[in-house]
Amino acid sequence: MLRKSFLVALLLASTPLYAQAKSAAEAFGHREGIEDIALSPDGTKVSYIEPIAGQGNRLYTVDLAAGGVPKAVMAASGDPERLYNCDWVSNARLVCLVYAVSELAGERFSATRVVAINSDGSNLKVLSKRQGNNAVRFAFSGGEVIDLLPGDDGAVLMGREYVPENKTGTLMSKDEDGYGVDRVDTNKLASKKIVPPSRLAMNYISDGKGNVRIMSVMVQDGAYDSGRRRFLYRAADGSGGWKLLSEWDTYGDTGFYPVAVDPVENVAYGYEELDGRDALYKVALDGSLKKTLVHARPDVDVDGLLMLGRQKKIVGLSYVTEKRRAVYFDPELSKLSKSLAKALPDAAMISFGGMSSDESKVIVGAWSDTNPGQYYLFDKTAGSVSPLLAVRPELEGYKLAQVKPVTVKAADGTDVPAYLTLPPGSSGKGLPAIVMPHGGPSARDEWGFDWLAQFYANRGFAVLQPNYRGSAGYGDQWYQENGFIGWRTAINDVNDSGRWLVSEGIADPAKLAIVGWSYGGYAALQSAVVDPDLFKAIVAIAPVTDLGKLKEENLGFTNARLANDFIGSGPHIADGSPARHAEKFKAPVALFHGDLDLNVAVFQSKNMADALKSAGKSVDLTLYPKLDHGLEDSAVRADMLAKSDAFLRKAMGLGAVP
């Protein structure tokens, strides 16, 4: 729960930085050294968030013109507050999101608040709507900044939740209820309503120039979220009221889903299906609702809209085939991206981050499979590129493994795209190997740096990451019914990936394991139900183990119907729940789980461990207190990596690696 001493905790948290990494598990398990980075409007200052011990992190600012010495501005202890998404609202002031996960009366929950602070650490303010003691409910969401506004007066447009308040024995009350938009002075906290709160409003989209143009509204089915969204739009000056833009249905992914507004073109950019795959469209907001196709692919979804600067100028789009590709609308930006990719070391992928108001300076990110990330400052006027910060400095000195896109032939003849990571310097033959299915299941793996795969490759394992059927990104036909309802197809693809490693001579069949996180952990466990002899060791991190129990977790919440329909009903619930088939397991199992996991309750791992023990099977369960789904603690991640490595080596009869 967010503490009453919230401001004091943020200002005074001073846990020392995580000790210098000494082992591979510590180096690869260390959280990203740069969790967020931003550039001031005038381009003279940089801010970034760096992890500290536990789940904590600290905000720094750097005055580039004054020698570039980092100044600690604010810290969050991680118990439970954490900092995210800090950005400059003026040249002297920043706005940040604070996130916390806690437990009360046995119920896990998350809460957010938005705060502002000067770049020197002074004048900390909470921008989220304050609640009185008579509020009818607790506002878990503290809202969000939807527009940094063009000026430099420290004001923002914020989505804020209004909660009614009743006062016993008096006629005084506050009746406003729902989500609205206010203009908030981050220095003095004076506010002005821009859009009155609406009970079913979900979010708002501005045009980056201070005008709220789009509102998303939940369509209810009784007391439940129906999964449908109604999008309304209005003129830039607010005249004419709200009009219907589109309706979107999560079940069939049907309809136009807007994500941004271009004020110059007066259009909304968003996604809609074309031939079974997501394409990027723009829709005119002049009343005509003229729809224009911007970009579509015959093989994969278009899934990224590229926006740049504090006004979120729309500059391009991206999609993933074997690797992520960017398409820039501006030829000059496209040329710059290609030039930087050639000029910067190991920079197969380039991204543009914060940009100065005059567009003369921009933060550039460079990545590849063997480059965990490096930030630079590009100065257009000077024509220079200067290094700023490395994302994972702990990995300096480690030889990282190349990642190769491959195609796995499934038993039914289907080509399954996957990524193969071999140990550096390896012959690629007869290796101990790991199949590592991704989480989600409505997700996919991409080419690039992956700290889990790189760790196991460093320890001598070949790692294969299949985008099994049920993965997102390849359209409806590949996604099918999702990886829970269609678990048989998904798990068969995962198991066929293990068989492919053996058939290609990459893996020693006696030294084949499976490791997964979240749905990947579910797939790792369910693989043994389908074929108990295939994998010789199973590591499942925060796994789903009982589909019926997963549905029950959502009872009493507005999304219960959505969860019920997503997981489905019928025989596949029992057949697809590994905890109900513990007797089939032959390989030893290692389970890891945080006990404050909001995505997958820790009960799922406890239930699996109990079932395996009752069936006389080998199982190790490691629980991490006060941690949620991502295990965002460097020491914990290092512990998990070290224990899983030792577990795999013991199960496969491998010797220790220094």
Q: Which two tokens stand for residue 363?
A: 């933060």
> Which tens digits make up the pLDDT trace of 273-283?
999 999 999 99
> Which tens digits make up the pLDDT trace of 31-66?
999 999 999 999 999 999 999 999 999 999 999 988
Check residues 648 and 354 and name the one with the higher pLDDT: 648
pLDDT of residue 12: 41
pLDDT of residue 168: 59
pLDDT of residue 106: 80
State how far the Cα of 606 lies from the Cα of 568, in Å rounded to an integer.
Answer: 23
Most confident of 4-13, 194-203, 246-255: 194-203
State how far the Cα of 333 lies from the Cα of 496, in Å rounded to an integer.
Answer: 42
pLDDT of residue 15: 38
- DSSP per residue, 411-436: TTS-EEEEEEE--TT---SSEEEEE-
State how far the Cα of 414 lies from the Cα of 407, in Å rounded to an integer.
Answer: 10
| Residue position matching structure tokens 């004020």 | 263
Confidence of residue 130 (pLDDT cuts 50, 70, 90): confident
State how far the Cα of 36 lies from the Cα of 38, in Å rounded to an integer.
Answer: 7
Q: Is a pLDDT exceeding 90 seen at residue 564? A: no
State how far the Cα of 254 lies from the Cα of 520, in Å rounded to an integer.
Answer: 27
DSSP structure class, residue 135: B
What's the residue count for the chain? Answer: 658
> Which tens digits make up the pLDDT trace of 341-395?
999 999 999 999 899 999 999 999 999 999 999 999 999 999 999 999 999 999 9
- DSSP per residue, 519-568: HHHHHHHHHHHH-TTT-SEEEEES----HHHHHHTTTTSTTHHHHHHHH-
Each residue of 531-540: b (16+ CB within 10 Å) or e? beebbbbbbb
State how far the Cα of 333 lies from the Cα of 352, in Å rounded to an integer.
Answer: 10
Q: Is a pLDDT exceeding 60 seen at residue 21? A: no
User: What radius of gyration, in Å, describes the C-alpha atoms of the chain?
Assistant: 25
> Which tens digits make up the pLDDT trace of 327-348?
999 999 999 999 999 999 999 9
β-pairing verdict for 324-328 and 349-355: unpaired
Confidence of residue 159 (pLDDT cuts 50, 70, 90): very high
Q: Is a pLDDT exceeding 60 seen at residue 538? A: yes
Longest CA pairwise span in the chain (Å): 80
Check residues 486 and 17 and name the one with the higher pLDDT: 486
Q: Is a pLDDT exceeding 70 seen at residue 503? A: yes
pTM: 0.94
pLDDT of residue 407: 98
Residue-averaged pLDDT of the chain: 93
Contacts of 275 (CB under 8 A, 6+ apart): 296, 298, 475
pLDDT of residue 556: 67
State how far the Cα of 193 lies from the Cα of 204, in Å rounded to an integer.
Answer: 14
pLDDT of residue 138: 85
Q: Is a pLDDT exceeding 60 seen at residue 6? A: no
Q: Which two tokens stand for residue 656?
A: 């220790």
State how far the Cα of 80 lies from the Cα of 191, in Å rounded to an integer.
Answer: 29
State how far the Cα of 147 lies from the Cα of 203, in Å rounded to an integer.
Answer: 12
β-pairing verdict for 361-367 and 374-379: antiparallel
State how far the Cα of 508 lies from the Cα of 490, in Å rounded to an integer.
Answer: 23
Contact 595, 603 (CB under 8 A): no
Check residues 602 and 655 and name the one with the higher pLDDT: 602
Neighbours of 67 (CB within 10 A): 7
State how far the Cα of 487 lies from the Cα of 524, in Å rounded to an integer.
Answer: 12
Contact 263, 209 (CB under 8 A): yes
> Which tens digits make up the pLDDT trace of 488-500?
999 999 999 999 9
pLDDT of residue 104: 82
State how far the Cα of 520 lies from the Cα of 494, in Å rounded to an integer.
Answer: 10
State how far the Cα of 186 lies from the Cα of 130, in Å rounded to an integer.
Answer: 14
User: What mean pLDDT is predicted for residues 306-313?
Assistant: 93
Q: Which of 422, 433, 508, 420 is nearest to 466 (CA)?
A: 420
Question: 217: which strand partners?
Answer: 201, 230
Contacts of 342 (CB under 8 A, 6+ apart): none
pLDDT of residue 421: 98
Neighbours of 636 (CB within 10 A): 21
> Which tens digits make up the pLDDT trace of 596-641?
999 999 999 999 999 999 999 999 999 999 999 999 999 999 999 9
What are the backbone dihedrals phi and psi of residue 523, each rounded to the nearest 5 degrees, phi first? -60, -40
